[in-house]
Structure 1
């Protein structure tokens, strides 16, 4: 039997039990007289055989004590801090404007948090609860939201850092994260935590109560956790978009020419075109050219694009959970769990900025100028309300069927009901159509256009031959919108300019499994064990959409139902060649394993895959273990990737075009573009195909092998060294191009002339292709400022959808070290753990060269070379303390970043720009009172945590990237957070 060396619990918290600890059997503790047979053997993550470690794999374990001592309030915060988990890809810890994955603005409907092992993306990491699948989250159903799992419910988190489709099937390419719920708990434990961010905002309160009881034939645990976090605004962190003080660009001067008082442009209205005049403060009626102010340098009024935005929303969460085990009869045991979370949030999403044209029918039209304007509607801050109801439950029965063989029959169900209610500019009309002048069918004007038109049923008669568009708008009897006024707008006009989008999105998975495992034969080295079984699951996603921001009248339609059924059969052998009974010098232990799983899917996105895995564990001496594995894994395209029905929501399945959103160097021949606007910036008209790619996607397939060691020398008690090498190649690499990543992809393409995503970028498109996109049911027309364009005027087609890259290759090392010693004045432990990547290369197309992306900044989220945690813990009596240093390596932006020229105007970098490393210090202090007495403080404890104690700012980077409106970011949210120093006090009490 393997024995686990005891290290200090605080150091285990900081080092997260080290990235390469070999998994050991987990033996349950007695709960008074309530220990039951089911507790004797527990299946560890990475194997279907109970009571044995997964042979050949590295397992990282974070226990309940480590979670409590980490200073982190939530599971998402804890996992983000692990070196093996890279934040890029989904659900950043802060920055609400961080794109479709990073916030509720786009595909991440409720601001959830995913796990991204090895930097391969959340969709390549399988997340389980007690070994069962969990319903997916987000608009594309491509990640599991760990923010809905309460920390108080968790006994431990097991992280398998290897491909595991041979055991679990689809999705386990980068690894597996398995949340094990509390089952073996006696008594009552309460906890209360208060925290804040010293830079402002983010006040947080969390409280929990957990009770458990065991009896002669069973046990049960029940608990509740509450979390309430206040918002953090962009103003709290001085986000402005003006990076000149950091050596960057003052972006509002070039890309955010919009203010509370209107600008009037020299030519077409655009956030970045030259401004001719600004209008004066006041009612804005009867203005003449002489009353306007010429705009110096063509800049005009600007504004802070981050004004009114949250970087962290206000969020509340209620969670309840129950686990139970019960002997039903001799040899028959049942076990199960239930959990429910309600999470609600409110986001401030800034002000609406309007760019358009005032027609001559508007009584406020100014003769002698273009009347192409921009103005900020700052009468109120728009908001977005989000909520999610998360359900999960499982029920299983275990039968003794002879010898040590057991039969498990288990069913589980998980569901995520997500809602998002947003306030958005009414800048499109996809529902109403008119007969145009030539007899063709055209889209009707949108609500903003009709508000500007100034026509109603009383004055339309003054026009001898009104156009179809004018007649349509007049029939609405809108109140006229005057963009030249700085007076408050009426409620009626605000309702005309700002609409809503309400989206309900439901995802569920139903899973049933039958498995038998036990000893086949006793070998000299120990029992040869076998597990075999079958598994069936159904995955389902649907939704309902209600909106008026892309229509005049409210529109309600289904979001599109998708479903697939997955059948699996699996087997696994654990073969002990040498063990205690037949060991010899140089061969203390030698174990082999073989697992294989066949999985077949029918429904949206059919697939079939058979995946083997081989494992080896070798101990030449008791203190040294070598291990290795080889296997294949796969990830089927998420159903929403394969669904390409219309979804006219931000980040949904839609086809649109923009006239001033995307820019290119004015001298490039890679794309046809507009004339320079006077500031060295050229725009091009782009048609964007967003959302699901359809059934053309292939499953992602991976080959992975690992080799590692663990050394615990008996001659140096308290020392542990571990290392694990991993190497994987993923073919048909699945990626999703989001709107937030497009700016960076285009900038890199124009700077280098190549891109892994070149097949998604089509310049100088054929008119017939563009016309077919105009005729597509997903087409929603012009979005943003500009005039209506014909197909021949579209200069680029960008497929911002899912795609298969040819291949990704990477290898690296997980490293860990710890040394504990007792000085007599207390126990110390020095620890370190980290992940060092040696390569990360992407091949865009079969036969093409591999491009080195390791440590190269791109908005698509390449990993850095090194992430580590190291520090020192101290314990004496009831007091303990720990200091942890978190290190994220420096990296560089080779192309696609911006620097100011001699005049301050933005230009793409021509030499690599270094992005500094990021080093933060976390401090944790704990004091435990007498656990045996009867006084008020008996069983109590208090802890103080200070995260990022030195208040280290994230390294500066200027990518010129915007996500929602022109809001450039001054840091890389994939590798740093802008929250600042966090201080929290936690009090616990056990009864």
Structure 2
């Protein structure tokens, strides 16, 4: 953004620090008789030019510092144009694959989601260069690894830009520009906390720079240490009844420190027959058990021991340099490195299993003769944890050559890499590596470690069984110590090691990019110089992974994830055509500029594609104070390589096929799916069906997303009212072959919506009552890992539904909306004031599930997949007098509704699905920022400043919604983490000092 001299400090502190106006002027203008400096922004390949026809947001280093946010991830979350929260916000680590460090987002990273299209459709750059992707699927760029101290400014292009950048630039582009002009030493120290408990934060940084006649250098370091926030800090316990929701632990956490015993299959929401008394749990009879009232049994707090915000530490180093080699030849480059380590507390392990007759504590008389005792128990002897680590690298080096006139040749290469690691403690509840002889010949999966711990057999007593089965012989050979789930006394270290194992997962992704570009003036037009940029671009992308685990085996197993790579070649050209300028302006036509860009991109590797994308831009000024602009272009997003890769991978959430008996339920009176017979409603009144999940890669059939986007907007700076700026930008886009993946966190809501309405936008991914031959083919697939969770094994004819939780090309998405902005700065004589407001209003967001089908309105409709709300905005007022400044900002997220898939308490308090829309309230928070610069002070105070930030000053709680969203640990959340955060009021003190 550009400002006149009188209002620049005020505007930068207010408007830009709160995400700027959404449609900034992009060319030098005359306002109040004062010349404005030209600003070069993201979105063009031509030096000294700006995108013609596009709105741009710019956040400078000073504005980032005055925002009150410690990290760029926190800052970008607040952008009105960044809908549905991006990827994996810090206080949402329990959810599905993309929203959780328990899923494919291995290290709890944060992405950007412009326009609510998903992180897949937002291109993130550092100094215009691509960055290695993050997560197991390589489907977002982790901005949490970019230090705030290294950033000179953040430039955000709010339009499709594949004509300039190629793949991924569908919703827009976020470009982080690193500092290159620091002179001297800049230091910062920040200490903060959350007033409701936890979340203490310490940040320190130093950036030093020096320039000389032929070059300059900047180097720096940033450290960030944030403490954990536990569920107990926010009084989370799963009981939402005080807010009009469900007391979920009663219905869905049928597990406690003392065991429950079930009449049938044990499950988290099954009917309990008896509870076990406190004590050693040996020699028990049925008479000593306590009958369970209402089938509820013992329960527990499903949030107990969980973090909602992990402990995280980050170290970052960065370097930039520029050096003239000789006349007409110069070099430029940068390097950065971040190491981020985190630790999550992940609660206690709950075990649902069966005590066989061979167990010394077996209780006779429960169920049929010689049938196992089905039980649940909470292993609260050890608090499980998840450690995450990421090493992030980036470097670029370029040489420029002046080749005549203003023509310049630029040759630049860059390299970026992300090495991600996650080590988790998990229940050893499956075995996909060990096999035993099957009853009819062949071989079947061997019992898992928990089952063998319950067997009660070893090499000393196996002889007491006349004809032991292959499974019994297998377990006896392990010589395990017997686990007694009926005991409430502490477990031994040996038993704990048998029950709780580990998963150590590492993914390595990198991208190499090389670009050769030449640009300059072709010839002079009456309106100014016609400029051209042409170039070629080459990049290679790679991602692989490796898993070591024992939670799905007896002995540790090491398995690689198949490596995927892609080679992309591109050629591009861009014209900037000034038809009318200062030299030939007319009344009613002060300026008229056109632009044309085109890029051809060709990819070979996993998922070949070819795309040619044009873009046209127009800027028209009928008078000096009014700028009208428009653009049209096409964009595309190639499927991430891991989306296409469908080779075998050893865990659910990777590429795996499995089925379950207890995880998927439907209304007991449904005719849409075949339920398990006899029907046994769970505590929530729903009945289970055998669901089979195909997760992970979809194969090479995936096609790129293809988008058509056009925009029209204006900026108005009236000469009669200095300091006033009004802007509006209308955008309209249609995306075909839209890439969507059903994640574990979204599946419950998708199924609930389907059974409530009989249809779903994801209908092509849901196959109910499938053909036996189709199911058998999935049983025979090398990705098949069998039964997950409690219950008996099933045959293909008993599988009632196939859920393709894979990536898919949905038919189409149509959306349009308006970015609005206004600011007015004025001097009262007692100080400078500015009022400002900016926001994004969506007018439509319609999804077509299948080609030729009708479009469904999903705007402002709650789904865990993250549909955008209608309006997000930030507005407020700032005041500055001399060295003192204060900014008050109100953040607004519009209300929306849950049409289906939310829960209300029934007459008895039991959960019932809503039959009418449930309103989710709007969320309004207040941020305060106070700054004081010791201008003119001497001694230690020279160059010093102090800032106090109070975010969510009134400590507003997130709007309540009860979706029963249970993914991990059966712990429902009471808010929508895509549109709100639960951390509460945050206070921070920042000290800065320049030397």
| TM-score normalised according to structure 2 size | 0.97
- Which residue is equivalent to 2:990? 986
Matches within 5 A, 1:692-731: 692-731=697-736
- The unaligned stretches of length 5 or more in structure 2 are 30-36, 368-372
- Does residue 823 of structure 1 match 2:820? no
Q: Equivalents in 1 of 2:95, 2:852: separation in Å? A: 34
**Equivalent of 1:588, from 577, 587, 590?**
590
| Post-superposition offset of 1:677 | 2.5
Q: Equivalents in 2 of 1:367, 1:333: separation in Å? A: 85
Conserved? CA contact 2:77–2:85, under 8 Å: no
Report Cα offsets for 1:582-636 as digits up to 9, x if no partner.
Answer: 0011110000000000000000111000000000000011110001100000000
Matches within 5 A, 1:363-762: 363-370=360-367, 371-674=373-676, 675-677=679-681, 679=683, 680-762=685-767
- Which residue is equivalent to 2:34? none
| Post-superposition offset of 1:336 | 0.4
Matches within 5 A, 1:892-931: 892-930=897-935
Conserved? CA contact 2:2–2:24, under 8 Å: no
- Which residue is equivalent to 1:957? 961
Q: Equivalents in 1 of 2:192, 2:652: separation in Å? A: 34
| Post-superposition offset of 1:369 | 1.2
Conserved? CA contact 2:86–2:110, under 8 Å: no
Q: Equivalents in 2 of 1:13, 1:169: separation in Å? A: 28
Are the structure 2 counterparts of residues 583 and 562 from structure 1 closer, same or farther at C-alpha, using a change threshold of 3 Å? same
| Post-superposition offset of 1:103 | 1.9
Conserved? CA contact 1:511–1:536, under 8 Å: yes
**Equivalent of 2:12, from 9, 13, 19?**
9
- Which residue is equivalent to 1:764? 769
Conserved? CA contact 1:44–1:50, under 8 Å: no
Q: Secondary structure at the match of 2:745?
A: helix
Q: Equivalents in 1 of 2:189, 2:927: separation in Å? A: 20
Q: Secondary structure at the match of 1:660?
A: coil
| Post-superposition offset of 1:647 | 1.9
- Which residue is equivalent to 2:888? 883
| Post-superposition offset of 1:952 | 0.2
- Does residue 222 of structure 1 match 2:219? yes
**Equivalent of 2:970, from 961, 966, 969?**
966
Report Cα offsets for 1:682-739 as digits up to 9, x if no partner.
Answer: 1111111111111111110000000000000010011000000000000000011110
Q: Equivalents in 2 of 1:146, 1:86: separation in Å? A: 16
Conserved? CA contact 1:565–1:602, under 8 Å: yes
Report Cα offsets for 1:828-853 as digits up to 9, x if no partner.
Answer: 00000000000000000010000000
| Post-superposition offset of 1:666 | 0.9
- Which residue is equivalent to 2:33? none
* Larger mean Cα displacement after TM superposition, 963-972 or 474-483: 963-972
- Which residue is equivalent to 2:370? none
**Equivalent of 2:796, from 785, 788, 791?**
791
Are the structure 2 counterparts of residues 408 and 41 from structure 1 closer, same or farther at C-alpha, using a change threshold of 3 Å? farther
Are the structure 2 counterparts of residues 41 and 15 from structure 1 closer, same or farther at C-alpha, using a change threshold of 3 Å? closer
- Which residue is equivalent to 2:180? 183
- Which residue is equivalent to 1:856? 861
Conserved? CA contact 2:16–2:58, under 8 Å: no
Matches within 5 A, 1:226-237: 226-237=223-234
Deviation beyond 4 Å, 4+ runs, structure 1: 1-5, 40-43
Q: Equivalents in 2 of 1:767, 1:308: separation in Å? A: 43
- Which residue is equivalent to 1:813? 818
Conserved? CA contact 2:388–2:422, under 8 Å: yes
* Larger mean Cα displacement after TM superposition, 788-797 or 313-322: 788-797
- Does residue 361 of structure 1 match 2:358? yes
- Which residue is equivalent to 1:31? none
- Which residue is equivalent to 2:256? 259
Report Cα offsets for 1:372-405 as digits up to 9, x if no partner.
Answer: 0011011011001000000000000010000000
Q: Equivalents in 2 of 1:954, 1:13: separation in Å? A: 26
| Post-superposition offset of 1:23 | 3.0
Q: Equivalents in 1 of 2:826, 2:2: separation in Å? A: 23
Conserved? CA contact 2:91–2:977, under 8 Å: yes
Q: Equivalents in 1 of 2:2, 2:251: separation in Å? A: 64
Conserved? CA contact 1:13–1:70, under 8 Å: no
Q: Secondary structure at the match of 1:560?
A: strand
Q: What is the RMSD computed on CA atoms of the aligned residues? A: 1.4
**Equivalent of 2:242, from 245, 266, 274?**
245
* Larger mean Cα displacement after TM superposition, 246-255 or 868-877: 246-255
| Post-superposition offset of 1:934 | 3.4
Conserved? CA contact 2:26–2:39, under 8 Å: no
Q: Equivalents in 2 of 1:889, 1:666: separation in Å? A: 36
| TM-score normalised according to structure 1 size | 0.97
| Post-superposition offset of 1:668 | 0.9
The number of equivalent residue pairs is 977
- Does residue 139 of structure 1 match 2:136? yes
Q: Equivalents in 2 of 1:792, 1:239: separation in Å? A: 42
Conserved? CA contact 2:2–2:39, under 8 Å: no
- Which residue is equivalent to 1:35? none
- Which residue is equivalent to 1:333? 330
Q: Secondary structure at the match of 1:746?
A: helix
| Post-superposition offset of 1:63 | 0.5
Conserved? CA contact 1:574–1:591, under 8 Å: yes
Q: Equivalents in 1 of 2:324, 2:288: separation in Å? A: 87
| Post-superposition offset of 1:98 | 2.3
| Post-superposition offset of 1:24 | 4.2
- Which residue is equivalent to 1:942? 946
Q: Equivalents in 1 of 2:500, 2:86: separation in Å? A: 31
Conserved? CA contact 1:596–1:613, under 8 Å: yes
Conserved? CA contact 1:89–1:860, under 8 Å: no
Q: Secondary structure at the match of 2:764?
A: helix
Q: Equivalents in 2 of 1:653, 1:190: separation in Å? A: 47
Q: Equivalents in 2 of 1:509, 1:732: separation in Å? A: 25
Q: Equivalents in 2 of 1:20, 1:550: separation in Å? A: 53
- Which residue is equivalent to 1:37? none
Report Cα offsets for 1:326-375 as digits up to 9, x if no partner.
Answer: 00000001000000000000000111100011000111100011410011
Q: Secondary structure at the match of 2:498?
A: helix
Q: Secondary structure at the match of 2:897?
A: strand
Matches within 5 A, 1:283-302: 283-302=280-299
